[in-house]
Amino acid sequence: MLKSIRQSTATLHSWLGLIFGWLLFLIFVMGSLSLYKTEINYWMQPQFATMQTSSNEAAQSAFAYLQTHAPDAKSWFIHVAHDNAPVNRVFWQTAEGAFENRILNASTGSELQLLNTQGGDFFYRLHFQLYGMSYMTGQIIVTFTAFILLILLISGVITHKKLLIEFFTLRTNKGQLSYLDYHTVSAVTAMPFFFVTAFTGLAMFFYVLFPANLKLSYPDNPFQYFEEIRTIPQQDLLSTPEKAEMRPIQYFLKHTTQQWGVAPLDTITVKSPNTSSAHITINKKEDRTITRNQDQFIFNAHTGELLKNNRNTSALATLNNGIYGLHMARYAQPSLRFILFLSGILGATMIASGLFLWSLKRQIKNKKQSFHLGAYLVNRLNMTATIGLGIAVLSYFYINRLVTAPYNLPNYEITTFFSVWFICFLIACLMPQHQLWKSLLKGFIILALILPIINLCYLFNHHLISSFSSYWMFLRVDLLILLFALLAIFLHQKIAPIASNQVTQNQFINGIR
């Protein structure tokens, strides 16, 4: 009976892993890169290197801009400039309800036109809503995939009855056994991380799984829930406000400086600006809390009175923020963030090794068969979804350095990403199986090793760096790229995509190309 259950679970694990493995690999890699989204944004906007500012100066210039260009708006929102993003991003809702936004020079308050790039935000969006489809459709697919991941994790634990024993076994250059060992070791090493990530990902998007609940509780505006879970509504904001002059921003910044020192600011929100009920909320940037409970001050912008914090601190709100905070990991300091990044890469390793293991077993089992379309497609999709994705990511960085796209021109980076990925698929379909693994890895290694050199030459030619400290802002991403290059070199030297030379010979002779 127990054996039958384990066999059934193994079958479930195998086929679900194959069907959803390619998408899961994409989600894990993009999620890992998203941990360094801000650093990637800086790398892909090299003109940031010439900009310097302080939080207080940036807040004053943004406030002055909004007073001039949107004095009658319903609300203002300011992303205050900081070291990793030295520009102000301002948003406001007009009296008619439309939304506007601008990017501003943090020192002068003048409008800026940055390069037309999405930077690390592209990886972030691709991680949780995919690309080229509606916001909700992408979230539904990713949320369902997170549910499948939980099933795969549980079924994997049941299937591998000697999981802990296998964890201490790592065999290289052993074909199928090597893939099994890498699959097991990577799974066990970061198993708690995988469970937490899958569960919190599901919980964050509960409204995707159960949309009727929100619709029933908030029939007119279901997304009102998200406002209420963050803040308790202020009563005086509900009344019709009268026109009134606000205190200058310096008045509020003086208070924050007294309490926080020169700590950088994160966001400034103004509700009903230039009215008697105007409220201004200033958030401190540094936040080491999992529940996103960063320091903040709320003032009556008209009288200057310090108000009671309206953050929702109920048990439900704290649980919601904790789940969100665990998944987003914004609390993580550099060392912990790097550990979480490595855990994400281990997740991608677990998935990739499982996909290749499935393929290898079929190769050995059907080594005398002349041709099998399903096995052929799986082999090619495995290569494309793993190594091909890595090459596509590198091409995304390359096009940013080789082609400068002003704000008013199309964004070629995303087009290049998907075009190169598709080209990798075509190459995988046309190249013989026995050459494919090494060839794609060689291509990835060469691109990854050359990119930091091209980046350094670009920065010097455009006079964007003058010292190591200024180069460090770009070197952070270069080091990540070199880390992947080292991983690819290890795979190239130690891991073979097929179990034996005999299998290679039989498949090549029988036409699996």
The pLDDT tens digits for 86-103 are 999 999 998 888 899 999
Residue 219 lies in a domain: no
| pLDDT for 151 | 94
Q: Are residues 185 and 298 in the same domain?
A: no
pLDDT of 43 over the 90 cut: yes
What tens digit of pLDDT does each residue of 153-184 get? 999 888 877 666 666 666 655 556 667 777 88
Average pLDDT of span 293-299: 88
Q: Are residues 179 and 43 in the same domain?
A: yes
CB–CB of 345/32 below 8 Å?
Answer: yes
Q: Are residues 84 and 147 in the same domain?
A: no
Q: Are residues 126 and 267 in the same domain?
A: no
CB–CB of 419/425 below 8 Å?
Answer: no
Q: Where are the beta strands (DSSP E) in 233-303?
A: 265-271, 279-284, 296-300
pLDDT of 501 over the 80 cut: no
Average pLDDT of span 260-264: 86
Q: Are residues 282 and 143 in the same domain?
A: no
What tens digit of pLDDT does each residue of 421-474 get? 999 999 999 998 888 889 999 999 999 999 999 999 999 998 888 877 788 889
Residue 307 lies in a domain: yes
Number of compact structural domains in the chain:
2
Residue 316 lies in a domain: no
CB–CB of 304/247 below 8 Å?
Answer: yes
pLDDT of 203 over the 70 cut: yes
Q: Are residues 347 and 460 in the same domain?
A: yes
Q: For residue 195, what pLDDT band results from cuts at 50, 70 and 90? A: very high
Nearest partner of 459 among 450, 470, 469, 449, judged by Cα: 470
How far is Cα 326 from Cα 406, in angstroms, rounded to an integer?
37
Q: For residue 239, what pLDDT band results from cuts at 50, 70 and 90? A: low
Residue 420 lies in a domain: yes
Read off the pTM.
0.90
Whole-number average pLDDT of the chain: 86
By three-state DSSP, how is residue 297 classified?
A: strand
| pLDDT for 64 | 94
Q: Are residues 85 and 172 in the same domain?
A: no
Tokens at 299, concatenated: 């003032």
Range of the domain at 270: 52-106+232-311
Instruction: Walk across the sheet containing 75-79 and list its strands.
Output: 99-105, 87-93, 75-79, 265-271, 279-284, 296-300, 306-307
Q: Are residues 32 and 172 in the same domain?
A: yes
Q: Are residues 353 and 461 in the same domain?
A: yes
Q: For residue 24, what pLDDT band results from cuts at 50, 70 and 90? A: very high
| pLDDT for 176 | 65
Average pLDDT of span 327-336: 90
| pLDDT for 32 | 96
Residue 112 lies in a domain: no
Q: Are residues 445 and 371 in the same domain?
A: yes
In the listed set 255, 281, 311, which residue is the last one of a domain according to the structure? 311
Residue 111 lies in a domain: no
By three-state DSSP, how is residue 362 classified?
A: helix
In the listed set 260, 279, 311, which residue is the last one of a domain according to the structure? 311
Q: For residue 502, what pLDDT band results from cuts at 50, 70 and 90? A: very low
Q: Are residues 289 and 164 in the same domain?
A: no
Instruction: Write a three-state SS string for 63-126.
Output: HHHHHHHCCCCCEEEEECCECCECEEEEEEECCCCCEEEEEEECCCCCECCCCCCCCHHHHHHH
Query: What residues are paired with 105 via a beta bridge?
Result: 87
Q: For residue 358, what pLDDT band results from cuts at 50, 70 and 90? A: confident
Q: For residue 308, what pLDDT band results from cuts at 50, 70 and 90? A: confident
| pLDDT for 500 | 43
Identify residue 301 by its one-letter amino acid code. Answer: A
pLDDT of 137 over the 80 cut: yes
Tokens at 41, concatenated: 């944004």
In the listed set 256, 277, 311, which residue is the last one of a domain according to the structure? 311
Q: For residue 509, what pLDDT band results from cuts at 50, 70 and 90? A: very low
Residue 226 lies in a domain: no
Residue 475 lies in a domain: yes
Tokens at 128, concatenated: 């949780």
408, 409, 415, 416: CA torsion to nearest 10: -120
Q: Are residues 160 and 277 in the same domain?
A: no
Q: Which residue has the higher pLDDT, 506 or 185?
A: 185
